[in-house]
Amino acid sequence: MPKHKPTSPVAAINGATLVLAQQGHKKKGNFERSPTPPTSELDDADGTTVFKDDPYLEPHRGYFKNRFNSFRKWVKHIDQHEGGLDKFSRAYERFGLVPNEDGITYREWAPGVKEASLVGDFNNWDVTANPMTKDQFGVWTCHVPNKPDGSPGIKHGSKVKITMVTPSGERIYRLSAWSQYVVQDLSVSPIYDAVFYNPPQPYVFKNKKPIPPKDLRIYEAHVGISTPEGRVGTFNEFTRDVLPRIKDLGYNTVQLMAIMEHPYYASFGYQVTSFFAPSSRYGPPDDLKRLIDEAHGMGLVVFLDVVHSHSCNNVEDGLNMFDGTDSCYFHEGGRGRHDLWNSRLFNYQSHEVTRYLLSNLRYWIEVYGFDGFRFDGVTSMMYKHHGIAYGFSGDYNEYFTGNTDEEAVAYLMLANYMCHKLYPGFVTIAEDVSGMPSLCCPAEDGGVGFDYRLSMAIPDMWIKLLKEKSDDDWDLSHISFQLTNRRWQERTITYCESHDQALVGDKTLAFWLMDKEMYTNMSDLTDRTPIIDRGIALHKMIRLVTIGLGGEGYLNFEGNEFGHPEWLDFPREGNGNSFHYARRQFNLIDDDLLRYKYLYRFDKAMQHLEDKFHWLSSPQDQYVSLKNEGDKVLVFEKGNLLWLFNFHHTNSYTDYKVGTEWSGKYTVALDSDDKHFGGHGRIDNSTQFFTKDEPWNNRAHSLLVYLPSRTALVLKHD
C-alpha cells in the first residue's frame, strides 16, 4: 500500500481544484466502458475460487488469501480516496500539458525538489517566466494563459521542459513524464526533446472498433522494419503496405512492438523513456491513430506491446532520477535496478506510480484505440530474482514463497481488473516463462487476471530440435507433450517463433532448415535440392501442428510466414550502423519466380481454415489418437477436424489406418503437399474417404488414407 498520504476524495489530483471527467456509461468505439466497477463482487470473494480448478493449490491457501486481500485493499483505497478506478486512471487528462478554454495547465509529480518552472520556446527558456506551485503531495502546477488574440500560449510543435531545483541547489532539466510527443535529432544529440503536440486539426477516428475475437490469430509486427528498404519505416507506410497483407493472410489481430518511445532503436522498444509518446521515428502521433483506425476498418484488432516491467536508465530524457532523487518512480538502491537489463524498476507500491502506470494503459486505449495489451517481462515483474539465472521446474513452492514480488503481482492484478471491468472484451496477454499457476484466471477469483499467456517453451522446443537432431530422430511423444502441456482453463498463445528467434545470434526456423541455400536455391528456375525440399515441407508442417495442437491462440512474427531469409539486426556500432538486416523483404513474395510465395500461400490457407473452423476457440476437447515413433506419424482430432502428420523423411504410406470418433465421409480441407504450396502434389485433393465401423486407436471408427512422406493432411467430415 502507499507510503504517503493519498489524495482527498473530493479531487482526484492531490488537492488541486479540477473539473473532473463525467462519470457513468461512455462508449469508446465498440467497447462499452462501464462506470466505476462495483467492489461488492470483491467483498464477497476471498481469492480462493482458483482452487476449484486446481486443488493442488490448497497448501497455499493462505498465500492466495493474502495476495487477494492486497489487491482488494488497493481497489477499495482507490474507491475511497480517488473516486474509483475510472477517475484514478484518467490522470493523463490532468497531468502534463493539458489545453483548456483559457489556456494550458501543466502538472507534474516531483516530490523531491524545492522549486520548479515550465520552460520552452514559448517563454525563451526563462526559468522565472512560468514558476510552478507545489501541493502537499509533491504535485507542481502552473497555468499558461491564452494570448490576447485567443490563441494558445504554447504553440503546437513548441519544445518544452520542466526545470527544477533540488534541495542541494542544483538546477536540473527534465522532459515531462507525461510527454505525448518527443523527437530525437541524432545529428545534434541522442537526447530527446519534448514537443507540445496540439494540432489544430487532430485526427478523427472513422471506423467502429471490432470486438477482439475468441480465436486470436496474431501478426506481431515492428513498424520500423516493415519495409524492404534499408531505413526506418513509417506508420503511414505500414498502413498502406503491410495492413493489406495481414488482412489477405487471414490474421485477425495486429500486435505492434516498439511503440512507446525508446532512444536506442536496437533495444527493440524495450528501453522506454517516454511512456505516453508513440515513437516519433515512425511519424507523428496522428499517423498511429490512422493506422489503428484503418486496421479497424479492415476488421483487424490492434494490440500494444506494453513495457511496464522496467524503464530506461536515461536521466535527461527518461524517468530515472526524475526529481533528482533515486526513488521518485522507482525503488531506491539495488531493488530499483535490473542488473541484466541495466534499467530501472518501478515501485509498484507507490500511490503515484500506480496512478501513472494505470493511466498509461487507459491513455493507449482511450486516445489511440488499442484493443488489447501484451505485457512484456511479466516474469521479471513477478519475482524478486527477476528470473535471472533461475530455472523453474513447476514446483508450486517456486511461485508462492518469498521469491514472489507481491507488490508487482498486485499491480498486475489491478491492471487486468481495470482493463476488463472498464472495457469488457479487452484482451491481456502475459509474457511469462515461469508458468505461474492462476496467471490467467480472473483477479476477482484469486488469479492474476490475464486472458492468455505466451507458450514460450514451444519455440524453444523447435529450435532445440532443429539444432540438435535430424528430423528422423524427432520424438513425436515429446513434441505432442510440449504442444499440449498447458494449464487447464488457462488459455495460451502458441507460436513457432517470435521476434526473439529472429534476432541476430539466433536463426529463424527457415534459416535453421535451409541456411545458405536460401540465397542460391529459392528460385523456381533452379532444381529443388534436398535441403530446400526438406525445408519447405517441414516449415509448413511445424507451423500447422503448432497452430493445430499448441494453444487457444496463435502468433507469427512478420516475415516468418514466408520464411524470411535473414535474421534481424538493428543498426548498431557492432555492424557499422547498418540497416541491411533491419528490414522485412516483402518483395520476395511478390516475385513469382521465387519459392517464398509457396510458404506465404500455405500460411494464408492455414489462417483462413482456422477462420472457417475455429479450432483455437473450440470447446471440443482435442484428442491425440496416435504417436507412432517408427512411422513418424501423429494423428489428432481438434475443432471438428482430423489432423494427420507424417514426419518421416522417406516413407510414404498407402492405406494407412487411422482412428476417428466421427463416422461418415471425409474430404481434404488442407494438404501441405499441394503444388500450390510448393509440394509434390502426391494427393488427389478430390478424394473422398469413408469410415468403417472398426475401432482403432481408442476411437470408435477408422479410415484408410494415403499419407506421403513429410506431409500434413487435414480432413473435414460430413
Within 10 angstroms of residue 192's Cβ, the number of other Cβ atoms is: 24
The H or E element containing residue 421 is: helix 406-422
Residues found in the chain: 718
Give yes or no: 376 in active site.
yes
Residue type, 351: H
What lies within 8 Å, CB to CB, of 246 at 6+ separation is: 219, 221, 254, 300
Asked if residues 712 and 690 have their Cβ atoms less than 8 Å apart, the reply is no
The end-to-end CA distance of the chain, in Å, is 59
DSSP per-residue string spanning 352-403? HHHHHHHHHHHHHHHTT---EEEETTHHHHHBTTTTTT----S-GGGTSSTT
Asked if residues 387 and 434 have their Cβ atoms less than 8 Å apart, the reply is yes
Question: What is the Cα–Cα distance from 137 to 170, expressed in whole angstroms?
Answer: 22
- Integer-rounded Cα radius of gyration of the chain: 27
Long-range contacts of 687-690 (CB under 8 A, 24+ apart): 689/665, 689/715, 690/664, 690/665, 690/666
Rounded to the nearest 10 degrees, what angle do helices 406-422 and 61-82 cross at? 60
Asked if residues 71 and 413 have their Cβ atoms less than 8 Å apart, the reply is yes
Using DSSP, state whether 225 is helix, strand or coil: helix
Q: Which three cell numbers stand for residue 585?
A: 523483404
Of 431, 445, 471, 497, which is the active-site residue?
431
What lies within 8 Å, CB to CB, of 248 at 6+ separation is: 604
Describe the strand order of the beta sheet including 139-145 as a list of residue ranges. 96-100, 103-109, 139-145, 133-134
Question: What is the Cα–Cα distance from 638 to 697, expressed in whole angstroms?
Answer: 16
Asked if residues 596 and 562 have their Cβ atoms less than 8 Å apart, the reply is yes
Of 86, 376, 407, 561, which is the active-site residue?
376
Question: What is the Cα–Cα distance from 408 to 384, expressed in whole angstroms?
Answer: 9
Give yes or no: 121 in active site.
no
Percentages helix, strand, coil for the chain, rounded to the nearest 5? 30, 25, 45
Question: What is the Cα–Cα distance from 206 to 139, expressed in whole angstroms?
Answer: 37
Question: What is the Cα–Cα distance from 331 to 334, expressed in whole angstroms?
Answer: 8
Using DSSP, state whether 501 is helix, strand or coil: helix
The torsion angles phi and psi of 109, rounded to 5 degrees, stand at -90, 115
- For 351, half-sphere exposure in the C-beta direction (CA atoms, 13 angstrom radius) is 24
Question: What is the Cα–Cα distance from 605 to 672, expressed in whole angstroms?
Answer: 10
Question: What is the Cα–Cα distance from 674 to 523, expressed in whole angstroms?
Answer: 18
DSSP state of 513: H
Positions marked catalytic: 376, 431
